[in-house]
Structure 1
Amino acid sequence: MISKLGFLLLLGCIGCVLLFFTFIERDLRSQISKTILIHSQRTYEMMGESSGNTRIIIEPSCNATFLIWIVTSYAGDPSTRSALRRAYIDEELQTLGIERVFLLGKLNDDAKRRTHVSQEALLDESRRFSDILQGDFLDTYRNLTYKHLMGLRWAMNNCKHVKYIMKMDDDIVVNIYGLLEKLHTGIIEKNSLAGYVMKNMTPIREPANKWYVSKAEYADNIYPDFVSGWLYITNSQVASKLINYAESYKYFWIDDVFVTGILRKVLYIKIQDISKIFTTDYRYLECCIKGKINLLKCEFLIGPNGGDAELQVKFRKFAKFCHANCFIRAENNLVGKTCVVAYKEPKLHKGVFQINPIKIL
């Protein structure tokens, strides 16, 4: 009887030991999994009242040789990122010497429920495409400056040998072939920010407005000249100046005003107006696409998607074909002079600013 009891006790002890090791192994696997998921988690310092550094949650590598293309994107809207990826696939961008990286923040629980996009989904997206840069801050309009500076800082630290940095919003359509052609001809001035120049813009002082700016946030009655955050081009030297100065400067949430206006002015960085290649109405891009039938190029290389992410894909097909097969339009046959559309008030900064109306026939 004692021998049998001892044997049972021995079996019980062995079972406990095996159970203990099972739990230890499971815990180790969990820790390893977490370490892999939060890969390359670089700490740049947490952000306070300044516009300084932020912690990186997801970080890609940089393989660009000519242009680093950073794109501000809302974490909860993968459709615009998908359209850009389908328009310009990664293999083609590599051939062109371009690296494209999407800049994201974090979604809170409410945003996750509304968009059905979880952090796990973003991690999976990063594993599949290796083009996500995510910072440890909420993905909101009020944090756009953090996102913008995070992208410039990453490009500056990881892509030091590229010639150009291009910052773009993800709802902007671009003819990358035409833009590269202009870059290779030296259209961009050294040590400058080149884009759609905005002048004499005033803060919105109406508290009920989504884009309300208080006197405490910005005391002056007019913003410095700046380039629209739709798309601008610069280099790592300029980005370095902006980043270094921003780290000790009071935070201002309208990112293009802050980065390319306030900081630029203090640092005496030039702005270069290349607005001739922009259109503020997406329907001009649709008119450009129709010109393919007559083998006519488009003078516009950049414009909004008008809420249609697929316009990016359509315009890229037109741009690819016409880059090799179409002819430059005559002055009297430019899209801006011949496109017939109903007038709509342009909103270059998603409702923040108004610009002079453009003439549409």
Structure 2
Amino acid sequence: MRLFMVLGAVIIINLIDASFSKESKHVPSIGGFPMSHKIEKNGFNKISSRRPSENHGSNIGNYPLTERSNRLEKKHLSLVLSSIQAFSADSNQLLKTAENEDIKTIKPSQFIKNRSKSRKMAHPRKKRHKPVPIVSPIKVQTSSAAPLLLDHPVLTMKLYEPGHLNEEIDIQRICMHRGLSLRLLILITSAQTHFMARMSIRQTWIHYGSRRDVGIAFVLGRTTNATLNEALNKENYIYGDMIRGNFIDSYFNLTLKTISMLEWADTHCPNVKFILKTDDDMFINVPKLLDFIGRQKDNRTIYGRLVDKRMPERHSESKEQQNGAIEYTTYTTGPAYLLTGDIIHELYVQSLRTNYIPLEDVFTTGIVAENLKIERMQSDDFRNVRTSLNPCYIRNVISVHNIEAHEQFYLWRKLLDPTIKCKTVWRIYCGAVQQPK
């Protein structure tokens, strides 16, 4: 745009200068007799003409030819000069603006104002026409790190990028021989900055991962923070227990994190008997969980804290606000649920073919499991809430939610303390602990 304006100004000025730079210019008169006017080279305001006697007495509109034509010529040249000066000033102003601001950012109203100003200077007595409005394109800014908000259904396969960073992870220790001798694989979804949460788990109940029939690992995503990424690389080099998928790690991408977990298990541990999905703020009673697994004979089943069909929550901070007034199917709550190993491949494949929602437990154990006709079973051993930390109570449940890093050590010590004797029978009512009379 700027180049075309400059070229146009140069061409107009050259044409006018060429047409008036000659010593004489012959303009045919209305009566057929030639009129000759000499225009000096030093400007447009010095005009000389021949005497009336040299023009053969020709008249235009009852006025002497020479005097009338001179006045009209002078007025015309004055208007031309004003137009050129206005166009040049307008071009210079736009060029000056473009030097400090990208040409795409010049407001349409500013361009219209400058264009109208030049027309007013060139044609002072002429009524201006309303300029045609200029519509600017709307730009949409996107960011890979921004929360994933969707206003229309999108297949998950269009959002999910398969694959993992497995350079530093000890796959053989976590799932030896692709899970042929593995009873239980515990996969813990963790936020990248939750280093203390991971360390507290590593020093407490993750020790059961040293058993030959138990594998335990953390599941994370990617980050655009170079410093944080370097810290995660060093942490994984030391411990080798962090599965890292190809998605931006954020709260609204928990569904992608769960799919990444399923993909890793399907690729590297397809023969495992059971998989527990849990979070890094959970205390897991692994001995109680192994005892629970030993009693199960079902296939194609998900065990956990069952939630019947319900309407989505409406509060503003909830991920559920994006899903409108849909009714959810029955599902198990996300802090901890147990999957039989024979459904991992089906869950992974069907998840990619399902429309994405950011509620990972509703998505995986609800919508996808329902489409695959997978049974979901209630187990009171999965508490998945913040409950009493009484040692006798903890020994009778599988999972407790909202556990701080320092509390992991307390529960771990009480769980293994042989001096604590639980002589009474404890009953559980909706998360409350009551001692019978």
For the residues of structure 2 that align with 1:360 and 1:317, how far apart are their CA atoms?
20
User: What is the DSSP-based 3-state SS (H/G/I as helix, E as strand, rest coil) of the residue aligned with 1:213?
Assistant: helix
For the residues of structure 1 that align with 2:161 and 2:374, how far apart are their CA atoms?
22
Taking a change above 3 Å as real, the CA distance of residues 156 and 139 of structure 1, as seen in their structure-2 partners, is same
Match of 1:55 in 2: 163
**Deviation digits for residues 212-246 of structure 1 (CA, Å, limit 9, x no counterpart):** 433xxx35532111011111111222111111111
Match of 2:386 in 1: 281
Deviation at 1:48, TM superposition (A): 6.5
Alignment partner of 1:121 out of 228, 231, 234: 231
Alignment partner of 2:221 out of 82, 105, 112: 105
Deviation at 1:153, TM superposition (A): 1.4
Query: What pairs with 1:1-361 in structure 2 (closer than 5 Å)?
Result: 50=158, 52-58=160-166, 60=169, 61=171, 62-63=175-176, 65-90=182-207, 92-95=208-211, 97-109=213-225, 118-184=228-294, 186-187=295-296, 189-206=298-315, 208-214=316-322, 218=323, 220-278=325-383, 280-282=385-387, 284=388, 286-288=389-391, 291=392, 298-306=395-403, 308-321=404-417, 326-327=421-422, 329-330=424-425, 333-334=426-427, 336=428
**Deviation digits for residues 145-193 of structure 1 (CA, Å, limit 9, x no counterpart):** 1111111111122112221111101111111111112212x23632100
Between 270-279 and 69-78, the greater mean CA deviation after superposition:
270-279
**Deviation digits for residues 36-87 of structure 1 (CA, Å, limit 9, x no counterpart):** xxxxxxxxxxx97646442322463123522111110001111111111000
Taking a change above 3 Å as real, the CA distance of residues 301 and 249 of structure 1, as seen in their structure-2 partners, is closer
For the residues of structure 1 that align with 2:257 and 2:243, how far apart are their CA atoms?
9
Give 2:380's aligned amino acid. Answer: S
**Deviation digits for residues 316-348 of structure 1 (CA, Å, limit 9, x no counterpart):** 2222335x9755742xx43x47xxxxxxxxxxx
For the residues of structure 2 that align with 1:193 and 1:359, how far apart are their CA atoms?
25
Give 2:359's aligned amino acid. Answer: I
Taking a change above 3 Å as real, the CA distance of residues 264 and 51 of structure 1, as seen in their structure-2 partners, is farther
User: What is the DSSP-based 3-state SS (H/G/I as helix, E as strand, rest coil) of the residue aligned with 2:417?
Assistant: helix
For the residues of structure 2 that align with 1:250 and 1:52, how far apart are their CA atoms?
12
For the residues of structure 2 that align with 1:328 and 1:176, how far apart are their CA atoms?
22
Give 1:107's aligned amino acid. Answer: T
Give 2:269's aligned amino acid. Answer: C
User: What is the DSSP-based 3-state SS (H/G/I as helix, E as strand, rest coil) of the residue aligned with 1:300?
Assistant: coil
For the residues of structure 1 that align with 2:394 and 2:349, how far apart are their CA atoms?
41
Contact 2:383/2:399, CA 8 A, preserved across alignment: yes
For the residues of structure 2 that align with 1:278 and 1:132, how far apart are their CA atoms?
26
Give 2:188's aligned amino acid. Answer: V
Contact 1:305/1:312, CA 8 A, preserved across alignment: no
User: What is the DSSP-based 3-state SS (H/G/I as helix, E as strand, rest coil) of the residue aligned with 1:281?
Assistant: coil
Match of 1:7 in 2: none
User: What is the DSSP-based 3-state SS (H/G/I as helix, E as strand, rest coil) of the residue aligned with 2:264?
Assistant: helix
For the residues of structure 2 that align with 1:157 and 1:279, how far apart are their CA atoms?
28
Deviation at 1:143, TM superposition (A): 0.8
For the residues of structure 1 that align with 2:190 and 2:336, how far apart are their CA atoms?
13
Give 2:348's aligned amino acid. Answer: I
Q: Where in structure 1 do 4 or more consecutive aligned residues deviate above 6 Å?
A: none
Match of 2:139 in 1: none
Deviation at 1:126, TM superposition (A): 0.9
For the residues of structure 1 that align with 2:297 and 2:417, how far apart are their CA atoms?
25
For the residues of structure 2 that align with 1:328 and 1:181, how far apart are their CA atoms?
20
Taking a change above 3 Å as real, the CA distance of residues 238 and 179 of structure 1, as seen in their structure-2 partners, is same
Higher relative contact order (CA 8 A, sep 6+): 1
Contact 1:58/1:133, CA 8 A, preserved across alignment: yes
For the residues of structure 1 that align with 2:308 and 2:362, how far apart are their CA atoms?
11
For the residues of structure 2 that align with 1:358 and 1:107, how far apart are their CA atoms?
37
Deviation at 1:204, TM superposition (A): 2.9
Give 1:85's aligned amino acid. Answer: R
Structure 2 residue runs without a partner (length 5+): 1-154
Deviation at 1:96, TM superposition (A): 5.0
Contact 1:229/1:256, CA 8 A, preserved across alignment: yes
Taking a change above 3 Å as real, the CA distance of residues 48 and 195 of structure 1, as seen in their structure-2 partners, is closer
For the residues of structure 2 that align with 1:55 and 1:248, how far apart are their CA atoms?
17
TM-score norm. by structure 1 comes to: 0.68
Give 2:397's aligned amino acid. Answer: F
For the residues of structure 2 that align with 1:211 and 1:145, how far apart are their CA atoms?
11
Taking a change above 3 Å as real, the CA distance of residues 148 and 89 of structure 1, as seen in their structure-2 partners, is closer
Match of 2:27 in 1: none
For the residues of structure 2 that align with 1:94 and 1:166, how far apart are their CA atoms?
16
